[in-house]
Amino acid sequence: MSGDDALLIERKGPLVQAIFNRPARRNALSMALLRKFDALIEELSTDKTVRVLVISGAGGHFCAGMDLTDEAPPTSPEEKQAAQRERNRRTAARFAAIAALPQVVIAKVNGAAYAGGLGFVCAADIAIADATARFAAPEVRRGLVPAQILPWLAQRMGRSAARRMVLQANVIDADKALSLGLIHELTPDFAALDTMLSEILADILKAGPGAIAETKGLLAALGSAVPEDYAEAGAAAFARAAASEAKEGIVAFKEKRDPPWVMPLPL
């Protein structure tokens, strides 16, 4: 699949849909996909004709996070760490840009919404899901850190629930996600999810677009999800983890085996 095909962009009047389209990889985020997504967000930031952005995934999943097989050519350890740091900075900027859009952003979730995919859910203004949806922040199990999704998780769920989610790193189902405030609405199946989306769109399109943009500005003025200097600290922490435990953790993930730090329960 080409980089252009990895993200489908559909526009119908005031509605833009961005569809992650790597179903064979559960819509894991490749660099080509993210470049196209970033270009879309930059375009929408000044487009007053668009009123809603819907983010979804093709093929039964929302997004399984960063594609850990989408690697750059081998470089020195120093160059690799610098690249990891810059990649993580861009992740932070991407979530902030989604939240700052003047349009209403809706995450429409089915299947897996893991790691970076979970960040898209939390950066959106409204998140809806069907009963197949599953959510996880599995980074620590790979030897990585959930650096840039953590502030958005904490804002959406509260710090206590986010703390448990990123440290236990287990998968939660859609019912649990609803009870924790991770999503706003839950439907029994995908057809009902489409109906729910249509109802939400009908409500949003009754509102003045300027009033929506101003209201989002006021919400931002209440306080950023990301503390000052956090993004840089998160990028540094991610790069350190990627250069240490994650080397083995990612290999183990690719080989579908446990990394060496996995221990049995004490008797």
pLDDT at position 1 = 42
- pTM for the structure as a whole: 0.95
Best CA proximity match to 29, nearest among 52, 49, 55:
55
d(CA 182, CA 247): 30
The amino acid present at 146, given as its one-letter code, is P
Identity of residue 54: V
> Can you give the pLDDT at residue 78?
83
Instruction: Compute how many other C-beta atoms are within 10 angstroms of the C-beta atom of residue 24.
Output: 8
Banded model confidence at residue 240, pLDDT cuts 50, 70, 90: very high
DSSP 67: -
pLDDT score at 72: 59
Mean pLDDT of all residues in 68-82: 76
Mean pLDDT calculated for residue range 101-105: 98
Pick the range with the lowest mean pLDDT from 26-30, 66-70, 194-198.
66-70
- Integer-rounded Cα radius of gyration of the chain: 18
User: 7: closest CA among 32, 41, 44?
Assistant: 32
Give dist(CA 168, CA 220) in Å, integer: 30
Span 6-49, pLDDT tens digits: 999 999 999 999 999 999 999 999 999 999 999 999 999 999 99
pLDDT of residue 3: 56
Q: CB–CB of 94/42 below 8 Å? A: no
Using the predicted structure, report yes or no on whether residue 73 has a pLDDT greater than 80. no
pLDDT band at 4; cut points 50, 70, 90 = confident
- Angle, helices 209-221 vs 77-100, to 10°: value is 130
pLDDT at 260 over 60: yes
The model's confidence at residue 179, banded by pLDDT at 50, 70 and 90, is: very high
Whole-number Å distance between alpha carbons of 40 and 180: 30
